[in-house]
Each structure stands twice: as structure tokens, then as C-alpha cells.
């Protein structure tokens, strides 16, 4: 379970990037809504502590319990639907003993761990039909439960991370090419169906968000949040208006950005830190994901590589979705910006995942 490691193998650079990004996030959260800043500081302290503790546990030992991890993840998601707290028509939160958390954030990390071991054990037959179908059946359960909450954005991110893992596990390029040939026209067909008023594929509020994204002038009330986000980012220009500013023309100060400390934290950063601040945030997210990949390249076993690639994919795609929403590239859908947005469950979960990546780095191949 615990092993002796060399301090020289510890990736302090990765912790540095995370500390810098999370600290920047705390500053922006304080500017967006000061009431949440102290709790985010507590979350970061807890997250870093757990990161260091997890980094000292042998990940190959943890992977011995991969089926228990999978069952626990499915159980948590099922419990949300049964006993979760409903907010705005969605059940995404569990309250246990006064402690409230969002299981889907934890499940993202648990599924990466599970499939890392699952694919490692089937490395030689990863391209066989039975393995592909079995893995699809396994990922379908948590995806269906998350979608039922409903949480479409998390469902999409988890699906993309799963695709990354199975590809990195050695899935044949011929199969990948065949899937792309089928999926691209299917995606076009689905999009054409979704924009129809009588469709049954997505919920009405999700359809309205697509309409507001495509035709904001015709749906001003629904498009207001995203349009205000774009205005806020643009108004920051190169260097921004400064944190905690009191300018009357500030979109944030006028309360035109809802959930500025969570899903739309990038909008606040854009307005107050400008283009330079936004570039720093995106660059730090990229550096963290890149560091995960670099560690994964030298992992001693496939499961270590997959854990690192899974975390890199999760950070990269979740960052992309959050930034794309706030800049109007894709329809509005709620998801946090890794290490920046307010949310203790999200922050701590990412830190635990990075802790496992750090342990992979402590057990690299020797050349």
C-alpha cells in the first residue's frame, strides 16, 4: 500500500501549476462573490492535503479494488436519484450528515481509475468485439444515471474521457476510423432532429438553450446570460478592469452574470483580468494537462498511463466546455472550470485525481 519513494521523482512542478491556478481562482471568486472565498480556501487546503496523501499510496494497490470502485460509483449516482436534493428541477447533490457534495464530480475520477485497470487487464484483446461491447455496457450505466439527473454536460465530458481511455488502451485505428465515419453523419442527423420543435431526444430546457445559442435575437431572455458573459469578457480588453473594482459599467457589478463564482467564473476573469488573465488561466490548465501526459509517458504499467491520460483528458475537455460556453462557442450548459470555479467537491476531486497522477510519477520506468 505504502512504498518508499525518491523525493527527486516527485513532480513539484505539477503542484506549482495547480497552486498558481487555484490561487488565481480564489482571487477571482472573491471578486465575484466574497462570501464563497473563505470556503474555497478551505477546499484548496483540504484538496492539497488529500493530494499529497493520495500521492503516497501505491496506485497499483488501489487498482486491485477496481470493481468495488465501479460499484461504488454506480451506487452513488443511483443514490442521488433516490435521495438527492433537487434544485431547479435537477437532482445532483447528496446531503449526508450535513455535508453536501456532488457525486458526479467524484465519479469522474472513480471511472478513470476503474477503466485504467479494466483496459489494462484486456490490453491484448482491446479491439475484440466482446471487449468493446462489454466496456460500452459498463460506461452506459453511469452515463445513463448522470443524464437522468439531468446533467448533459457532465455526461458528454465523461463519454469523451471514456473514448480517450479506450483509444489510449490500444484500440485499433481501423475501428476508430470506422466509428468516426459513422458518428459524423449521425451527429449531423441528430442535430437536425434536435432543432425540431416536436423532438423527444433532449428536454425542453436543453432545446431552448440550443435555440438561444443559434438565434439569440429571437430568444433574448434565454440568451441573456451567455450574451452578458461575452460582453463581460470583451469589456476587459487587454489587461482588464482589475479585481474587486467598483466601476459602474462592470457587467459583474451590475449583477448581469448569474453564478459568476461557478460556471461563469471565466466571464468574471475576462472582465477583471482581461485577455492576459484569460490566457494565463488557459495556459495553466494546459500545462497541468500536459504534465499529466508527460508523467503518463513514463508510467511503468499501462494502467498508470491511462490514469494520467484520463486526468489530462478530463481537465482539457472540461476546460474547453466551460470556456466555450462563456465565449458563446457552444450552447449554455453548466460545468465548472477545473481548479478555478467555486465548488469544494469539484476542487477536492480533481486534487485526488492529481494525487494518483503524482504517484504514477513516483513509479516511472527506469531507462
What is the Cα–Cα distance from 214 to 77, expressed in whole angstroms? 32
pLDDT of res. 1: 67
DSSP 2-47: B----GGGS-HHHHHHHHHHHHHHHHHHHHH-GGGHHHHHHHHHHH
pLDDT of res. 160: 93
Between 220-235 and 204-214, two packed helices, what is the crossing angle to 10 degrees?
50
Q: What are phi and psi of 100, to 5 degrees?
A: -105, 135
pLDDT of res. 197: 67
Cα distances from 282 to residues 25, 61, 97, 125, in angstroms, run 12, 34, 37, 37
pLDDT of res. 367: 44
pLDDT of res. 200: 63
Q: Which stretches of 236-337 are DSSP H helices?
A: 265-297, 302-326
Taking CB atoms within 8 Å and a gap of at least 24, the contacts of 324-328 are: 325/226, 325/229, 325/263, 326/226, 326/229, 326/230, 326/233, 326/264, 326/266, 326/267, 326/270, 327/229, 327/230, 327/233, 327/266, 328/213, 328/226, 328/227, 328/229, 328/230
pLDDT of res. 247: 83
DSSP 127-180: TSHHHHHHHHHHHHHHHHHHHHTT-HHHHHHHHHHHHHHHHHTT--HHHHHHHH
pLDDT of res. 202: 67
3-state class of 253 per DSSP? coil
Per-residue confidence in pLDDT tens, the chain, 367 aa: 667 788 888 899 999 999 999 999 999 999 999 999 999 999 999 999 999 999 999 999 999 999 999 999 999 999 999 888 877 667 888 887 777 889 999 999 999 999 999 999 999 999 999 999 999 999 999 999 998 888 888 999 999 999 999 999 999 888 888 777 777 787 777 777 666 766 666 667 777 788 788 888 888 888 888 999 999 999 999 999 999 888 877 888 888 888 789 999 999 999 999 999 999 999 999 999 999 999 999 999 999 999 999 999 999 999 999 999 999 999 888 899 999 999 999 999 999 999 999 999 998 764 4
Cα 57–chain centre separation:
23
Report pTM: 0.93
pLDDT of res. 12: 93
**Which set of grid coordinates corresponds to residue 356?**
494518483
pLDDT of res. 155: 92
Amino acid at each position: 500500500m505504502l512504498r518508499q519513494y525518491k523525493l527527486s521523482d516527485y513532480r513539484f512542478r505539477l503542484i506549482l501549476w495547480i497552486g498558481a491556478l487555484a490561487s488565481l481562482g480564489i482571487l477571482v471568486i472573491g471578486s465575484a462573490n466574497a462570501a464563497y472565498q473563505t470556503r474555497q480556501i478551505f477546499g484548496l487546503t483540504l484538496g492539497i492535503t488529500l493530494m499529497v496523501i493520495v500521492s503516497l499510496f501505491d496506485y497499483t494497490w488501489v487498482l486491485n479494488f477496481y470493481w468495488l470502485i465501479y460499484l461504488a460509483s454506480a451506487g452513488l449516482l443511483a443514490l442521488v436519484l433516490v435521495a438527492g436534493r433537487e434544485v431547479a428541477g435537477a437532482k445532483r447533490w447528496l446531503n449526508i450528515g450535513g455535508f453536501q457534495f456532488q457525486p458526479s464530480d467524484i465519479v469522474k475520477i472513480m471511472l478513470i481509475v476503474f477503466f485504467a485497470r479494466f483496459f489494462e487487464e484486456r490490453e491484448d484483446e482491446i479491439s475484440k468485439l466482446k471487449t468493446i461491447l462489454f466496456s460500452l455496457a459498463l460506461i452506459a450505466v453511469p452515463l445513463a444515471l448522470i443524464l437522468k439527473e439531468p446533467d448533459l454536460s457532465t455526461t458528454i465530458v465523461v463519454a469523451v474521457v471514456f473514448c480517450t481511455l479506450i483509444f489510449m488502451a490500444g484500440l485499433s485505428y481501423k475501428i476508430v476510423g470506422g466509428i468516426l465515419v459513422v458518428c459524423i453523419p449521425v451527429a449531423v442527423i441528430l442535430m437536425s432532429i434536435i432543432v425540431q420543435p416536436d423532438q423527444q431526444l433532449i428536454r425542453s430546457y436543453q432545446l431552448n438553450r440550443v435555440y438561444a445559442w443559434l438565434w439569440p435575437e429571437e430568444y433574448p431572455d434565454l440568451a441573456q446570460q451567455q450574451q452578458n458573459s461575452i460582453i463581460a469578457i470583451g469589456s476587459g480588453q487587454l489587461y482588464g478592469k482589475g479585481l474587486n473594482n467598483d466601476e459602474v459599467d462592470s457587467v459583474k457589478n451590475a449583477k448581469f452574470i448569474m453564478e459568476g463564482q461557478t460556471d461563469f467564473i471565466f466571464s468574471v476573469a475576462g472582465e477583471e483580468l482581461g485577455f492576459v488573465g484569460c490566457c494565463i488561466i488557459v495556459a495553466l490548465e494546459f500545462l497541468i494537462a500536459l504534465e499529466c501526459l508527460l508523467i503518463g509517458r513514463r508510467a511503468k504499467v499501462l494502467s498508470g498511463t491511462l490514469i494520467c491520460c484520463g486526468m489530462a483528458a478530463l481537465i482539457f475537455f472540461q476546460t474547453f466546455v466551460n470556456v466555450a460556453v462563456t465565449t458563446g462557442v457552444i450552447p449554455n450548459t453548466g460545468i465548472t472550470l477545473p481548479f478555478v470555479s467555486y465548488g469544494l467537491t469539484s476542487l477536492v476531486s480533481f486534487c485526488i485525481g492529481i494525487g494518483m497522477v503524482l504517484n504514477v510519477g513516483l513509479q516511472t520506468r527506469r531507462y
